[in-house]
């Protein structure tokens, strides 16, 4: 029986070696191909003149493929709506309410402004430094988690979150429609590019990133609120 096990192991090893050799031979037959990096090269060399953003990734995300970014924001909105609908039946129930200590409450009050400031900085400076509306909005929403952890009685301003979410989405769409009206293309820049590397530069990108940051932050905050409060306050 032991000899049979050794035979199986040796056979398995031989098959693995044979398959590896066949795969290596197949890969060696593939030609190296030609350079297909012309798109990346165009972004790198043309973007400062066309878009004016110091962060090339931001120019791609918001300008060159801005319609796709609008789709991502829409997906997040659908997810937030789905969470609210699923938890609507159990409104007013808070999950595992626990009393926190003075240290936790004091720490939350101290950290809250810093968390909000970091989130705002990331999406306001998204066209200059790594970051943008999505990570900045997530950090802003994490401030809400901090408050829920620290204060048992804390309730997020749900109506304000809805208003902010709607205004931010409307700003994004309006900026895109302005491009259609003026140039016939969605999200075509209609604002001055400004001075490269300055805060007020890159055309409409700072406006859109602030809108995305506000929308992502408010929607994620709404999801957190719904999950912790199980749908919101009772009527």
| 34 — pLDDT class (breaks 50, 70, 90) | low
Q: Would residue 234 count as lying in a domain? A: no
- pTM comes to 0.74
Q: What is the pLDDT of residues 42-74, one digit of tens each?
A: 888 888 888 899 999 988 888 888 888 888 888
Q: Which residues contact 90 (CB under 8 A, 6 or more apart)?
A: 230, 231
Q: Is 201 helix (H, G, I), strand (E, B) or coil?
A: strand
Distance (Å, whole) CA 224 – CA 67:
27
117-130 b/e (C-beta count within 10 Å ≥ 16 → b): eebbebbbbbbbee
Overall number of domains in the chain? 1
Q: Would residue 2 count as lying in a domain? A: no
The reported pLDDT for the residue numbered 1 is: 62
The reported pLDDT for the residue numbered 232 is: 47
The reported pLDDT for the residue numbered 231 is: 46
**Residues of the domain holding 83:** 42-229
Distance (Å, whole) CA 193 – CA 96:
51
- pLDDT surpasses 60 at 93: no
| 113 — pLDDT class (breaks 50, 70, 90) | very high
The reported pLDDT for the residue numbered 83 is: 81
Question: How many other C-beta atoms lie within 10 A of the C-beta of residue 219?
Answer: 26
């Amino acid at each position: 029986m032991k000899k049979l096990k050794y035979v199986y192991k040796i056979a398995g090893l031989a098959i693995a070696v044979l398959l590896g050799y066949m795969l290596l031979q197949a890969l060696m037959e593939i030609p190296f191909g030609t350079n297909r990096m012309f798109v990346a090269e165009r972004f790198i060399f043309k973007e400062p003149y066309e878009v004016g953003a110091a962060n090339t990734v931001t120019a791609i995300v918001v300008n060159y493929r801005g319609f796709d970014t609008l789709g991502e924001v829409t997906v997040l909105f659908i997810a937030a709506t789905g969470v609210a609908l699923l938890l609507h039946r159990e409104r007013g129930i808070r999950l595992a309410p626990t009393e926190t200590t003075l240290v936790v409450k004091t720490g939350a009050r101290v950290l809250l402004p810093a968390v909000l400031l970091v989130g705002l900085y990331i999406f306001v400076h998204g066209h200059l430094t790594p970051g943008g509306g999505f990570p900045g909005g997530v950090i802003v929403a994490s401030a809400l988690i901090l408050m829920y952890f620290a204060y048992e009685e804390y309730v997020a301003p749900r109506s304000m979150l809805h208003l902010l979410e709607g205004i931010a989405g409307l700003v994004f769409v309006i900026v895109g429609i302005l491009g259609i009206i003026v140039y016939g293309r969605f999200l075509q820049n209609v604002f001055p590019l400004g001075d490269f590397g300055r805060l007020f530069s890159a055309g409409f990108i700072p406006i859109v990133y602030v809108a995305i940051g506000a929308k992502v932050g408010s929607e994620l905050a709404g999801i957190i609120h719904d999950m912790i409060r199980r749908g919101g306050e009772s009527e």
